[in-house]
A and B are shown apart, each in its own frame.
Chain A
């Protein structure tokens, strides 16, 4: 399958592949855990049945998605050692503790309370159950904190020294954790997770409203999701802009690549909207560009000089084509999200939010958009960091394990087969759950098992649901 590829390229392909599959699940479960906490809080506060129905409806989906996130995440935590052992040896003393703290403060918290959240409402009562839901939601956010800190340190390393063995050593843990790009990346990613989940929730709501605009559950979820898009999409665009300015300061080469700036401009760089970057020729072919606007966006001044990749040795160039286009995909989807949010305001004001079919179709089309934007964003930032694993300090080629290419090719092949088989099944199960209408007396993961409802105790579920509502 991968003849002729060298071991480092294979290891990179494996990381990109397994990471791309993995990130989809946490991006969804970070947002969904918070949404579940909000739904349960609304239920406890208002006592309205629609909220517990929605809670149980999304809880089943959460259970499936979370399980896939866990198993694909274990792969990531061992892949540093199996495929990137030189990287692990050199950076382990700095980013190892960050990941260890992620396990200690986040993974255990999520896992410890997940069982109670999924299956324990009747066993522990409402208050403790809400506490469990909150702990899971907080756990997902703490997890984002640490792993983004570790990733940001690789982008903008700070607070370190290098010891005699060539390992990075922390000189200041505060500077390591709160390295220059971390706050921006954390905000950008958490907002992305919230938007991604909101778009999924909105699409499911829209799907059911298209068939019946009177359904209580879909109305609530659609309205909540549209508020999220309206309010958070503009904040996200602002956060993205600030993240970009931070990148310009600390990783200017990444900006050169994602803007397609091969040439330096002394008096105002153009903004290249579209084109085909040709890395070998060092130009953007068929470029559609607006003069001087590049400097306006990046320097907030029309005539500000901007350096291009011609000031950087070629061996330090990131792959421009991928970075350039993945960035445009992300930004384009971001503005579509903004468009969806703004569009929803008009029918909402007129009182036709649940009857406007065009809006529902738009929202359904945008359902998977958050995932694509998250993937495109990560491809931009990770590809833009190349050819380094630790920006400017440790080359990717010097980070890989001393493995023969066939070993990495075999494991990559195995992961590709297993991931497509397992995770496509999971996605199908999630879509099946989403295709059902959230209904009166909705059960959580414990209640709707077909065999159980049909056979052993058909009444138990209904009774407990009533108990829960009361």
Chain B
């Protein structure tokens, strides 16, 4: 496996980066929704919502960049994958609607109605998370392409493997959510988040294991990619690193540290994500379309590259500032909702 530094590859890395930033940022915030039913107390729920209210909108913007960027840089892949993932995509969008409006709506109602929007937040987050995980599995297992079109049915995505990846992502996001709460809260809420983090970490390891075992069976190419020489030089360190990070994460949880569990969980995500990248490259639609086949003409990719080079650092800068403004523990009495 060789990686060349042409435009299409650069753009593949940019899109992968946008999707990863999305996973990092919206992952914990969807994870909080997945965990919401486990925190029935209103005061806890207010704190949980407050911990992401100032930033959730920015987090979801990365999803728009991932989608919009893909249409711009790899229009063929976007045109093939979106119809192939039709049902999960629609489900994800609907889930995001319910959870997104809940951030404001739940403050604008009476308490009985608030329960309804709490349910919308939890249900919408879970639906969006499962849909994203299922979409990932459906991409990995490959889609039926003819000419420049998706040529399968609208339920092709539904397989045991895609269900597995859907559940795996839900566990993973929940881990990010729990460790986020460890970082952002105090007292009994934080204690509960610690104990949840333990369970979810083992759940996540189980999920990584299950998906890693199942993936090579999907397609010969994935097995070759991972288990043949000289690829092993690149692939072997991934599971080793996962093991090392897991040990560090366990220790940080045992020592009741504030920040480490969240950031180590992110590293775990990054490693899993790198594993996905190793499996897929250079395909953008596995087994059918490579990044070079899907690439937009050079004029489009160059035009956008200029903007990305200037704007992404700027965006990361002011996004970091926004997080910095709302840094520290969220207290029940703190000013913003």
Residues of A within 8 A of B (CB): 63-64, 66-68, 70-75, 77-78, 80-82, 85-86, 88-94, 96-97, 99-105, 107-116, 118-120, 122-124, 163, 165, 167, 169-171, 173, 401-404, 406-407, 411, 414-415, 418, 422, 425-426, 429, 432-433, 445-447, 449, 451-452, 456-457, 460, 464
A80 to B303, CA, bound (A): 21
A72 to B87, CA, bound (A): 17
Partner of B64, one of A74, A96, A124, A445: A74
Please state if A92 and B97 are interface contacts (CB–CB under 8 Å). Answer: no
Q: Is B325 engaged at the interface, CB distance under 8 Å to the other chain?
A: yes
A108 to B337, CA, bound (A): 22
B223 to chain A, nearest CB (A): 31
Ordered by A's residue number, 20 sampled pairs between the chains whose C-beta atoms are within 8 Å are A85-B82, A88-B78, A88-B79, A92-B72, A92-B79, A93-B72, A97-B300, A97-B303, A99-B71, A103-B65, A105-B307, A113-B318, A170-B297, A171-B299, A403-B86, A407-B86, A407-B87, A415-B94, A418-B98, A452-B333
A71 to B333, CA, bound (A): 29
User: 1/0 per position for B300-315, CB-CB distance to A under 8 A?
Assistant: 1001100110011001
Partner of B108, one of A111, A120, A432, A456: A432
Please state if A75 and B296 are interface contacts (CB–CB under 8 Å). Answer: no
Please state if B319 and A78 are interface contacts (CB–CB under 8 Å). Answer: no
Residues of B within 8 A of A (CB): 42, 46, 53-55, 57-58, 60-61, 63-65, 67-69, 71-73, 75-76, 78-83, 86-87, 89-90, 93-94, 96-98, 100-101, 103-105, 107-109, 111, 120, 148-151, 153-154, 296-297, 299-300, 303-304, 307-308, 311-312, 315, 318-319, 321-322, 325-326, 332-333, 335-337
By CB atoms of chain A within 10 A, which of B42, B54, B73, B97 has the most?
B97
Given A93-B297, A120-B54, A451-B46, verify A414-B90 contact (CB < 8 Å).
yes
Please state if A72 and B97 are interface contacts (CB–CB under 8 Å). Answer: yes
Measured between beta carbons, the chain B residues less than 8 angstroms from A66 are 57
Measured between beta carbons, the chain A residues less than 8 angstroms from B96 are 71, 74
Please state if B296 and A92 are interface contacts (CB–CB under 8 Å). Answer: yes
Partner of A446, one of B105, B149, B335: B335
A88 to B148, CA, bound (A): 11
B294 to chain A, nearest CB (A): 9
Please state if B307 and A74 are interface contacts (CB–CB under 8 Å). Answer: no
Please state if A426 and B79 are interface contacts (CB–CB under 8 Å). Answer: no
Please state if B64 and A119 are interface contacts (CB–CB under 8 Å). Answer: no
Measured between beta carbons, the chain B residues less than 8 angstroms from A452 are 333, 337
Partner of A71, one of B101, B108, B318: B101
Please state if B335 and A115 are interface contacts (CB–CB under 8 Å). Answer: no
Measured between beta carbons, the chain B residues less than 8 angstroms from A122 are 335
By CB atoms of chain A within 10 A, which of B81, B90, B109, B308 has the most?
B90
Partner of B307, one of A67, A80, A104, A113: A104
Please state if B308 and A404 are interface contacts (CB–CB under 8 Å). Answer: no
A407 to chain B, nearest CB (A): 4
